[in-house]
Chain A
Amino acid sequence: MSTSAQIRDVTFTVPERWYRLERQSLIAGVAGAILCIIAAIVSPEHFLRGYLVAYMDWLALTLGSLAIICLIHVTTAQWGFAVRRILEAAARNISLLTLLFIPIAVGMTRLYPWAHPGADRDFLTHLQRPYLNPGMWILRAVLYFATWNISAWALSRWSWLQDSPPDHAYRRRFQNFAAAAIVMWGWTMTFASVDWMMSLDNHWRSTIYGFYVMAGQGLSGFAFVIIAAVLLWRYRPISEYLTITHLHDMGKLMFAFLILWAYQAFSQGLIYWAANLKDEVNWYVNRTTGGWWWVGIAIILLHFFVPFFLLLSQDLKRDTGKLIVLAAWMLVMRWVDLYWLIIPNFPDTKGHFTISWSALAATIGIGGLWIYAFLVNLKAHPLVPRHDPMIYRVIEAQEHGH
């Protein structure tokens, strides 16, 4: 009974449907891009706001995936074996998002109040100048993207080395690098969330904001990987290595990130509500009046309470059909939450609910390109790392039915 004989077929034949999906997503991407261009011509301000929502939404999937890869390596998690390549393909989309950041950088002066000409007349902006100035902002963005690109590509490249023997050379390297990468993600994403989202209203600040955005990214990442894993489950080699227990574990982790996200949202809300300081509660006033109230209520109920009670059920986490619907729902609600965070920052939308069509167009546009790039990335390499030693543990667990 030798171990090598037990390793099941890892070859993957790209199904016809894959190409169809590639075509469709590319079409969606191009159509979205055309709509975005029209929107940008009609009203650059409104286009940029919507674009930022869409951008942060897809960035969450990308960086969430990166963080989950690190989590898998640091904890040597079994459930991660069969889905790691999916996550790696998603994380490498950071290169695409680096390019797609250009409109935000170009439109900086239209989006951010501190970047407006003459913003220095505001005393607070004047005080914040050493940090909030266009040069530093661009420099920091370069650093963030460099960090994320290096992390995603390094983890992918070492992973590809595992397509051929030897079996156990990379474990420690992965572990050390992933631990450092997760710390780097924490720092870069914190300041990126300040730069790109929080500073849309530079009179407001919250120390938990970075954690809050990152918890949302983790949640998006798990929702995405659950969807991708369930869809790929009918094909080899995912079908050989992914078990319902793994899916159950991912469901639990999605649940954990949902709770973490809600915990941070609640903590910030309670602390600001109790202190009731003008500088701080304004942020909530802007988001709970003039129609935004209903968005807030929807987030509390549909983003937290309903999924929370559903995810308590073990049966639901082990039912692929239901879990994938819930994961898709989580992605929709992540978008709503980002919309609620970003849009009410602007003078004409503070306390005044509006539907931003450009946000929808940009979400479809970036999303189409993102999914297209993801599919191309994913099929370029085998779907499981054949020589990752974890393969033995996965097989052993399957044979003994835990």
Chain B
Amino acid sequence: MSGAGPIDLHPVFYPKRVAVFGVTDTPDRVGYNILESILYGGFTGEVYPIHPRHEQVLGCKVYKSLEDVPEPVDLAVICLNQYATVEAVESCGRAGVKGVICNAGGYRETGEEGHELEKRLISAAEKYRLPIIGPNTLGMINNDGNFYSTFYPMKIPRGKVSIISQSGGIGLTIIHMAIDEGLGINKFIGVGNCSNLGFADCLDYLENDDSTAVIGVFIEGTSDAGRFARTAGRVARKKPVVVYKAGRLAATDYCTQTHTGSAAGSFHLYRDILHQHGVFTVDSASELVAACKALALQPLPEGNRVGILTHTAGPSVVMVDRLVPAGCVIPALNEETIRQVKRIIGSDDPPVTLKNPLDAAGLGFRRSTYGNLAEAMLADENVDLLLAVYCLHKTWELPASELIAAHEKYKKPLVVNFVGNWLGCRPDQEFMQKAGVPLYTAPEKTAVAAAALVHYGMRLKGGVSCDCK
């Protein structure tokens, strides 16, 4: 946002009094859904729906205009069409509102005329130094303040991860994947067209937001990419930032232009420049959620040496493929660990290959055996973090409490890949994640989670890089 000094965004994310423009009594309209979202989300502040003709919607008294609202409001959610939105922003500025969410599309993304309209919207807001979330946005959620302002009423688990998304559809994808992963969300910011509040402004805010520990970003493109990269790099020195950049082909440029009014820009530049600034990048929404989950739950490793314990080889092959290019190394186990493994398995010449990844094959099913092997690997001074692969089985159980105990004993990060379906794995996922150990059902996600931990372990803890194979 232009003008002198940064704007205080606290009243926008933690409003006490909220006005909602364009509330209607028709459930298929955005104005209705936003009010429903705020009420359903359990907002404890005051809500003032505004509509010139309605008396009451969803049990709330409706005000004719902002002037009729008895108290000054912190935030206005504007669910009007793109033209009426500009006028409403002007009236919010006059009334001393501290921020607005503009849901309507129909601006820059539609072409020349829309671009002119967006310029009018921005100048109306800037006159009063009014930050805009959007326009062209799904909205905003602050789960830390029970404030849900999207046109998809929902209630989601609270956590330490905040998401900034340029797209509503991918924003929802991330939110629902997070629910499936058992990952709590703190804030969701749909930046949409980034008219006067862009990625860098939101990162600046979240940097100092104590309830946010990890930040996930979905970006298509931004005209202010240099500032975005520098800010992401600076914030990532304090709390991990994970970026998923879409719009990778020249052909996608047209789609992003007509989606959020921003050209996608060169993916190659984004990849290289985010790397330059030490920001961890991923290649899909599911990787974004996986990486954020591990970073939110686990301590950071002291180095980049990854141990893998499994009783089936395939997943470890997939993991190594992903880990090594990300700067991880797969170290040899030390001799003491090898002795321990032989002792645990009960044979001096066990029918397993005594190396890392350690594939215990058929001997690895037994709960106590697997738990002891995990402990032996975590005890190994060559291992900075451990990935444990186990398969869902009718008879054998995931040694959940043994794994948690081993993790707590050695204080080294542990990530579990439980090979199975979501329903079958869900109880163990909940149990383990309550103890801070992330559990995934796919080796690719497990590997990206480990890569993210190693990336920020090296960056934030100044971990030692090891090239040994």
Q: Indicate whether A and B interact.
A: no
Which B residues are within 8 Å of any A CB, using their own CB?
none
Residues of A that sit less than 8 Å from B by CB: none
